[in-house]
Structure 1
Amino acid sequence: MTATPAPESATGNSHVPSSPLHDLMYGHLHACALRAVVVHEIPDHLAEGPLTAEQLAARSGTQAGPLHRVLRLLAVRGLFRQHSDGAFSLTGSGQALRADVPGSQRAAVLLFSDEIFRSSAAGIEATLRTGQPGFDAAYGLPFFAFLGTAPDKSRLFDAAMSSLTSGVNEKIVASYPFPDSGTVVDVAGGRGGLLREVLTRHRGLEGVLFDRPETVTGHLLDTPELTGRWSARGGDLFAAVPEGGDLYLLKNILHDFSDEDCARILGTLRRAVTPGTRLLVIDAVLPEDGAPHPAIALDIVMLMTLRGRERTAADFEGLLRRCGFRLDRILPTPSLTSIIEAAAV
């Protein structure tokens, strides 16, 4: 006599796969769980190897039960691994959550899961009606004006931008044939990570880092191999930028702004340079046909926090031509961004 198998639903071995709808619906849970483990430095406690939730709780001052459940959720997303003995370890992707590793994404996680972004995202519903960023409605100021009033958030923003680009700058610099000599001006270059990579790889070049005064004071250029080859200047890119450069860099800046504000920035640049001066706009370039691209999600970040947007090649060509530049070519890089090479006319 053959035994009747138990219904699949009763075995505990069958489940309904997660659908794209449910992944989206629960998306905020994953972001909040990720922030929680980073705030409590759980990835750092796992640097030496697997630990149980009880061991992690004792080291981090958290509760083992809730911690186990949160780690289980993030293990499903591929950041942690749950072992048969109940211990957890970091996956290759999860290693980037540690504070002490090259290319750490800890600051980026803390920034994009911060209340300022959560509030901005919650405002998308109103943005569809008004066209205004959710950030402005929540905080009463434009994003960068707010950062000027909130030093802690400003420092977090700068640290996150550095962490996001720490591995990208090498890919960008390797993708463009920089000249053997001359002066490179990195406009709104943050703490100078990109400029440092350019000058390190090309020892005949000199550089100028230009950004907000409070940003350039934390620059990354004071290294022995760059001694005597750089300067850092504070200012407002809408008012004036350093003159006399041979090559200007504008990385991840134009996507922060509307077309009108981009025209103001490019107009300021054009007044500072002579015909033939090269400009590298380093930004994502969206496909014209709407094909999937990772910067489509970034475009929504721009929508909810700023008045900027990600652009297509045709968009960039129109902006540059309008402001006295000629788009010569677009070079892809092994990263989110492309290099849009232009020349002043």
Structure 2
Amino acid sequence: MTSDPRLDLLTLINGFQVTKAISVAAKLRVADHLNDGARSVDELAVLTKSHPDSLYRLLRALAAVGVFREEEGRYFALTPVGDCLRADSATPVGAWAEVVGSPYYWQAWGHLLHSVQTGENAFQHLHGKSVWQLRAEYPEYGATFDQAMAQFSRDGADAVLRGYDFSPFSHVVDVGGGRGSMLAALLCAHPHLGGTLFDQPDVVAGAKAVLAERGVLDRCKIVGGSFFESVPEGGDAYLMRVVIHDWEDTEAAAILTACRRAMTKGAKLLLIERIVGPPNEMPATKFSDLNMLVSPGGRERTLEEFAELLANSAFELTRVFPAGIQNVIEAQPW
């Protein structure tokens, strides 16, 4: 921030320009093309099937905010920030950049005013269906979103493993676990563990390859279904990573109740979620909450709100463990 409040505000107002520019660069795979070193904008234009001068204008703008580095002769190279856009980056966010720049997502944020004035989900109002239904209808959108979630799971797994001790458990059920990136990390870190991956049938259909690549397929069951109806039994730990924040309290309670029915008295429920912090702090979580308002229709919650939600679903919140930008919220059945 500068010492000029007006310029600070203008920077915030114009933030959408940076967002969209990064999304376009991600879609064009610019970072992947720069993996082996700097390239000229003419080379990049051929590789990305882009208009050379327009591509140059895009990349010089992103270089000005540190995503790329502009060199002499209209050459561009990666920075540590831009490296995160590579598909095989150790800390990838490129797929999420594509999701954010997709028309269906972008348009929902354009209807934030409607949500604020009515309390209604902007996406549902705009498209007449939920974001989950739309992604099911358009596989390319669903695939990019699944890739983004897998990238986040891979990146966040280390923080979860550092923040919480899974060694006392023998079998972890990952509810809403996508294609298994998070569960694979747990099983790799704890060779004694078995696991069950549970998500919608079309989602877990792609899980075998992920689990086999990590060498844990023989210790993992894959089950398809709806977590509103039931979840698999047999676990002494039930894990949900950024699932509950996708839903308002009624739907979230239904998911938690389904878990409760499957759990034995001594089992643990582990929610990996952001926690809304005190006033005037933690903007990322509070803007994530706005994202829940306009897109899936859920919410981020304070610790007190989590405790109440869990209590209404026959759980007691026992402990909270920081895990990077998220937390492991531990609860046990009554």
Pair 223,57 (structure 1): closer, same or farther in 2 beyond 3 Å: closer
In structure 2, stretches of 5+ residues that fail to align are none
**Aligned to 2:257, which of 267, 274, 277?**
267
1:137-182, CA deviations, whole angstroms, 9 ceiling, x for partnerless residues? 2211012122222222221211111112221112112211113552
Q: Which residue of 2 aligns with 1:29?
A: 17
Q: Give me the whole-angstrom Cα distance separating, in 2, the residues matched to 1:283 and 1:17.
A: 33
Q: Give me the whole-angstrom Cα distance separating, in 1, the residues matched to 2:84 and 2:217.
A: 31
User: Which structure carries more helix by proportion?
Assistant: 2
Q: Which residue of 2 aligns with 1:87?
A: 75
1:133 and 1:305 in contact (8 A); partners too? yes
2:270 and 2:330 in contact (8 A); partners too? yes
1:311 is paired with a residue whose SS is: coil
Q: Which residue of 2 aligns with 1:169?
A: 157
**Deviation of 1:50 (Å):** 1.7
1:285 is paired with a residue whose SS is: coil
**Deviation of 1:96 (Å):** 1.3
**Deviation of 1:307 (Å):** 2.2
Q: Please identify, of 137-146 and 89-98, the stretch whose mean Cα deviation from structure 2 is larger.
A: 137-146
Q: Which residue of 1 aligns with 2:331?
A: 342
Q: Give me the whole-angstrom Cα distance separating, in 1, the residues matched to 2:229 and 2:273.
A: 22
1:65-87, CA deviations, whole angstroms, 9 ceiling, x for partnerless residues? 21121111111221011224442
Q: Give me the whole-angstrom Cα distance separating, in 1, the residues matched to 2:217 and 2:25.
A: 40
1:180 and 1:205 in contact (8 A); partners too? no
1:228 partnered with 2:222: no
1:286 and 1:293 in contact (8 A); partners too? no
Q: Please identify, of 36-45 and 18-27, the stretch whose mean Cα deviation from structure 2 is larger.
A: 18-27
**Deviation of 1:293 (Å):** 4.1
1:178 is paired with a residue whose SS is: coil
1:159 partnered with 2:147: yes
**Deviation of 1:224 (Å):** 6.6
Superposed, 1:96-175 pairs within 5 Å as 96-175=84-163
**Aligned to 2:285, which of 271, 287, 295?**
295
1:255 partnered with 2:245: yes
Give the TM-score taking structure 1 as reference length: 0.90
Q: Which residue of 1 aligns with 2:230?
A: 240
Give the TM-score taking structure 2 as reference length: 0.93
Q: Please identify, of 227-236 and 286-295, the stretch whose mean Cα deviation from structure 2 is larger.
A: 286-295
**Deviation of 1:186 (Å):** 0.3
1:153 is paired with a residue whose SS is: helix
RMSD of aligned residue pairs (Cα, Å):
1.8
Q: Which runs of 4+ in 1 moved over 4 A?
A: none
Q: Which residue of 2 aligns with 1:329?
A: 319
1:221 is paired with a residue whose SS is: helix
**Deviation of 1:17 (Å):** 10
1:180 and 1:204 in contact (8 A); partners too? no
Q: Which residue of 2 aligns with 1:5?
A: none
Question: Which letter does structure 2 place at the counterpart of 1:201?
Answer: A
Identity score, percent? 32
1:6-63, CA deviations, whole angstroms, 9 ceiling, x for partnerless residues? xxxxxxxxxx998232223222222222222222222222112122323322333322
Pair 257,224 (structure 1): closer, same or farther in 2 beyond 3 Å: closer
Superposed, 1:60-79 pairs within 5 Å as 60-79=48-67
